[in-house]
Amino acid sequence: MPIIHNTINQQFMKIVLMGYMGSGKSTVAKQVAIGLDIPFIDLDDYIVEHENKSIAAIFKAEGEIYFRLQESKYLKQLLDQEQDLVLALGGGTPCYAKNIELIGKASESFYLRASINTLSDRLVKEKEQRPLIASFDGEQLKEFIAKHLFERRNFYEQAKHTIAIDDKAIEEIVEEIRSKLKD
């Protein structure tokens, strides 16, 4: 295992997975963590646990700006933890505040890149808990994803590594991440 230099907390390894909603960040991050035998945290779950509300309830009660502020605060907290960690971000995390700069300094980051078709096929089945897309259906959803991804791509592409995930099994994606960590 190489030593990954982390300017926030030099002695601990942080591996960060980013990408659009539905790109498989949590599933992949969990497997990477199991393989490396280090802890895994999903940023959305961490927010839910600390705020005592679902993401949908936070958006509804406090609004998106409040959510983004909390998201940034918890991200900093996690990147500063004195332990090795695989962290799955929320889809929007790299795109707000100065989160992408912090991620760049504090972690070995991976962008799980999926096509619009893959994302819309997946998200049409699991949009209810995602406040930004819950109200769209079919073509509307696909159009929203296309525009949204266009706006966000610039942030995602600042990740240190990009992994194309269309048509790949979870194990294959995990293996690609592991091999990039060894380089």
Cβ-based nearer residue to ligand S3P, 130 or 142: 130
Cβ-based nearer residue to ligand S3P, 6 or 43: 43
- b/e string for 106-123 if b means 16 or more Cβ within 10 A? bbbbbbbbbebebbbebb
In the complex, the smallest distance separating the C-beta of residue 104 from ligand S3P, rounded to whole angstroms, is 19
Binding to ligand S3P by residue 94, rule CB under 6 A? no
Number of H helices, E strands in the chain: 8, 5
Binding to ligand S3P by residue 24, rule CB under 6 A? no
- Give the one residue of 29, 90, 114, 165 binding ligand S3P; rule: CB under 6 A: 90
Q: What is the DSSP string of 25-59?
A: HHHHHHHHHHHHT--EEEHHHHHHHHHTS-HHHHH
In the complex, the smallest distance separating the C-beta of residue 7 from ligand S3P, rounded to whole angstroms, is 25
3-state secondary structure of 101: helix
Cα dihedral 168→171→177→183 (10° resolution)? -110
- Give the one residue of 17, 55, 119, 173 binding ligand S3P; rule: CB under 6 A: 55
Cβ-based nearer residue to ligand S3P, 86 or 91: 91
Residues 6+ apart with CB under 8 A from 8: 14, 79, 80, 102, 105, 106
In the complex, the smallest distance separating the C-beta of residue 69 from ligand S3P, rounded to whole angstroms, is 13
- Give the one residue of 14, 44, 141, 156 binding ligand S3P; rule: CB under 6 A: 44
Compute how many residues bind ligand S3P; rule: CB under 6 A: 9
Please answer whether residues 35 and 27 qualify as being in contact, where contact means their C-beta atoms are separated by less than 8 angstroms: no
- Give the one residue of 15, 16, 17, 21 binding ligand S3P; rule: CB under 6 A: 21
Take residue 18 and report the two structure tokens written for it.
Answer: 């980013």
Q: Under the rule (CB under 6 A), what is the footprint of ligand S3P? A: 21, 44, 55, 90-92, 130-132
